């Protein structure tokens, strides 16, 4: 009987260790890696050095005395809109093949179509490039909706409307995909501008912008203006466009000062949201609710995505303050459109939305505000007599995402060198002479917690806790070993980062 009880205790201990480890490490994104390590096998030497001047606050401006980089040359180098994505023209290989590449600050791989697909007009033919080299390393990225699979390689890349010079960069050549390329888009690849921690199959695959900074010598800063505010997400009219300024910020693209918030962690561009307001009404939630499990700035996500509790509070606050009390639940859930007689706009029925971000002076915050023209978004007319709109906010199970719905109101500076994100009023966020965004501050942050980033744990902290739990399991097993003289081995698991906030999953189809 005693032996039976001991065996039961041992089995429970082993089960506990297994369950704890399994709960800590989920792998929603399947990735297969090969044998080739690019970082140790290829010499990526600098091609050209450039020098830029500073405004005194760490930002590089357009007055480059060498003439090598002129930010004005990069203005209007983007095409697209929030519904179909913003993309930039790039030249790949030798001789150069021109492709349109989606700009995505929520991922880190540079991946391009390398085979024919019914939804794209052309692709990167690696066989026609004399400088393309395959690394014989495969990568498969699977999303909840959509996936692509291909091989990693390296080749020469330049940007016709970017910094002068040619770079040698990692390229994922997409050979097959499902649900990644969609009808109506005019891009053939994706440019991930986030940190190496998100790169697939692993962080040894140097992201594009890291390669640009290292090889061309530009400052580790880029800035983004997206000019689709107030335009129909399904219109076939001329695309709105915008600007991706690599190496600094272009003052003609924004109005007033740049307000900065710290980058909490360098994987996504994670920030700290302190509170939300609907009109002048504070949602009055624990600030950790806003950052559960992360809050990021992602140009590849169409909507403003909010954790479920926050989303429900926003909808309730809008409903209470709106002139339309009985509004279809399908509108809030994104399954139905709201329509008005043509020429009649719905803006007066909805309040402003404000997001408070922690300032670089951590005892303060600042507020970015969008008008309803940004989050009540025109789609298309139905029969020539109606104008229809969608709700540009959705619920999220994996964090708060400041997507294109908000970003179209601001000029956003990704100052990686100082680990901070900057927001300023965008010069193109105007519709009918009305500014569609506001920014204000500083405000005291004394009424919120000192640390609002209270979501699920991530690497490397995740590893520390997992090893601590393993140590506890080991201690229990050693006791059992002494009692039963039976071996017990600890198991190691590898963590993975979710990538469910990307445009691949959340753009409008």
| Catalytic one of 155, 293, 298, 415 | 298
For CA atoms 182, 183, 184, 186, the dihedral sign is positive
Q: Nearest to residue 210, comparing CAs of 201, 224, 220?
A: 220
The rounded distance, in Å, linking the Cα atoms of 412 and 337 is 30
Residue whose entry in the numeric block shows the structure tokens 């590089």: 60
More confident residue, 367 or 398: 367
Handedness of CA 460, 461, 466, 467 (dihedral sign): positive
Q: Determine the average pLDDT of the residues in 58-70.
A: 52
Closest to 498 (Cα-Cα) out of 298, 353, 326, 328 = 298
Tens of pLDDT, residue by residue over 36-55, are 333 333 333 333 333 444 55
Pairing label, strands 242-246, 410-415: unpaired
Q: Is 286 considered catalytic here?
A: no
With 60 as the cut, is the pLDDT of residue 160 above it?
A: yes
Sole residue written with tokens 């040894």: 204
Report the share of the chain in percent with pLDDT over 90: 57
Beta-carbon contacts of residue 249 (< 8 Å; ≥ 6 apart)? 59, 60, 61, 71, 221, 223, 258, 411, 413, 422
Residue the block writes with tokens 């990735």: 31
Marked catalytic residue, from 81, 104, 293, 387: 104
Query: pLDDT value at position 361?
Result: 95
Q: What pLDDT, in 10s, does the model give residues 311-350?
A: 999 999 998 877 665 677 899 999 998 888 888 888 888 9
How far is C-alpha 154 from the geometric centre of its chain's CA atoms?
24
**Residues with Cβ < 8 Å from 456, sequence gap 6 or more?**
292, 293
Q: How confident is the model at residue 228 (pLDDT cuts 50, 70, 90)?
A: confident
Q: What is the pLDDT of residue 38?
A: 33
In this structure, the number of other CB atoms found within 10 A of the CB of residue 495 comes to 15
Mean pLDDT to the nearest integer, 449-469: 58
- pLDDT at site 13: 41
Adjacency order of strands within the sheet including 273-278: 281-282, 273-278, 353-358, 364-370, 437-444
Neighbours of 308 (CB within 10 A): 12
5: confidence class by pLDDT, cuts 50, 70, 90: very low
User: Mean pLDDT over residues 148-152, rounded?
Assistant: 95
Cα–Cα distance between 287 and 455 in angstroms, integer?
11
* Cα(479)–Cα(476) distance, integer angstroms: 5
Contacts of 475 (CB under 8 A, 6+ apart): none
Tell me, yes or no, if 298 is annotated catalytic. Answer: yes
Provide the 8-state DSSP code for 475.
H
3-state secondary structure of 99: strand
pLDDT for residue 6: 45
Q: Average pLDDT of 473-481?
A: 63
Taking the model in full, what pTM does it have?
0.79
Please give the average per-residue pLDDT across 273-296, as a whole number: 95
The DSSP symbol for 54 reads: B
pLDDT in tens, 292-319: 989 999 998 889 999 999 999 999 999 8
Choose between 284 and 326: higher pLDDT: 284
pLDDT for the residue numbered 184 = 84
pLDDT digits (tens, 9 = 90+) for 395-452: 998 899 999 999 999 999 999 999 999 999 999 999 888 999 999 999 999 888 888 9
Distance CA 44, CA 42 (A): 6
Model pLDDT, residue 59: 56
**Cis peptide, bond prior to residue 460, ω within 30 of zero:** yes
Structure tokens at 132: 């393309």
Residue 15 has pLDDT above 80, yes or no: no
Peptide linkage before 95 cis (omega within 30 of 0): yes
Cα separation values, 183 from 120, 238, 447, Å: 8, 17, 48
Predicted confidence band of residue 291 (pLDDT cuts 50, 70, 90): very high
Which among 420, 431, 415 is positioned nearest to 370, based on CA atoms? 431
């Amino acid at each position: 009987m005693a032996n039976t009880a001991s065996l039961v205790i041992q089995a429970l201990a082993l089960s506990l260790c297994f369950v704890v480890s399994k709960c800590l490490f989920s792998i929603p994104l399947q990735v297969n890696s090969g044998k080739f390590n690019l970082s140790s096998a290829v010499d990526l030497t600098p091609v050209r050095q450039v020098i830029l001047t500073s405004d005194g606050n760490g930002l590089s401006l357009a007055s480059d005395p060498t003439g090598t980089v002129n930010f004005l040359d990069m203005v209007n180098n983007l095409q697209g809109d929030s519904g179909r994505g913003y993309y930039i023209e790039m030249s790949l290989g030798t001789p150069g093949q021109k492709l349109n590449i989606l700009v995505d600050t929520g991922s880190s791989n540079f991946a391009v179509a390398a085979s024919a697909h019914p939804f794209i007009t052309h692709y990167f033919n690696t066989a026609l490039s004399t400088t393309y080299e395959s690394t014989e390393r495969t990568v498969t990225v699977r999303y909840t909706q959509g996936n692509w699979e291909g091989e990693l390689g390296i080749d020469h890349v330049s940007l016709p409307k970017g910094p002068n010079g040619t770079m040698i960069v990692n390229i994922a050549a997409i050979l097959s995909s499902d649900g990644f390329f969609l009808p109506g888009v005019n891009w053939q690849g994706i440019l991930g501008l986030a940190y190496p921690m998100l790169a697939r199959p692993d962080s040894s695959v140097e992201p594009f912008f890291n390669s640009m900074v290292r090889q061309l010598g530009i400052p580790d800063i880029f800035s983004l203006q997206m000019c689709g505010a107030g335009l129909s997400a399904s219109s076939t009219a001329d695309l709105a466009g915008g600007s991706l300024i690599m190496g600094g910020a272009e003052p003609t693209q924004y109005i007033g000062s740049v307000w900065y918030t710290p980058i909490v962690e360098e994987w996504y561009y994670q920030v700290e949201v302190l509170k939300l307001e609907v009109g002048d009404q504070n949602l009055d939630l624990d600030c950790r609710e806003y950052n559960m499990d992360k809050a990021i700035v992602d140009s590849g996500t169409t909507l403003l995505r909010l954790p479920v509790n926050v989303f429900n509070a926003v909808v309730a606050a809008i409903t209470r303050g709106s002139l339309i009390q009985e509004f279809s639940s399908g509108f809030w859930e994104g399954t139905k459109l709201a329509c008005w007689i043509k020429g009649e706009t719905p803006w007066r029925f909805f309040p402003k939305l404000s997001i408070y971000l922690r300032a670089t002076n951590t005892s303060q915050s600042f507020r970015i505000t969008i008008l309803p023209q940004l989050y009540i978004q025109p789609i298309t007319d139905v029969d020539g007599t109606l104008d229809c709109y969608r709700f540009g906010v959705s619920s999220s199970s994996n964090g708060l995402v400041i997507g294109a719905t908000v970003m179209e109101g601001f000029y956003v500076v990704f100052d990686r060198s100082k680990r901070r994100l900057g927001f300023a009023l965008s010069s193109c966020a105007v519709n009918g002479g009305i500014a569609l965004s506001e920014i204000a501050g500083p405000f005291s942050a004394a009424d919120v917690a000192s640390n609002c980033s209270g979501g699920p744990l991530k690497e490397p902290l995740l590893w520390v806790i997992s090893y601590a739990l393993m140590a506890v399991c080991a201690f229990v097993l050693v006791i059992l070993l002494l009692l039963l003289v039976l071996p017990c081995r600890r198991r190691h698991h590898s963590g993975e980062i979710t990538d469910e906030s990307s445009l691949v999953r959340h753009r409008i189809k």
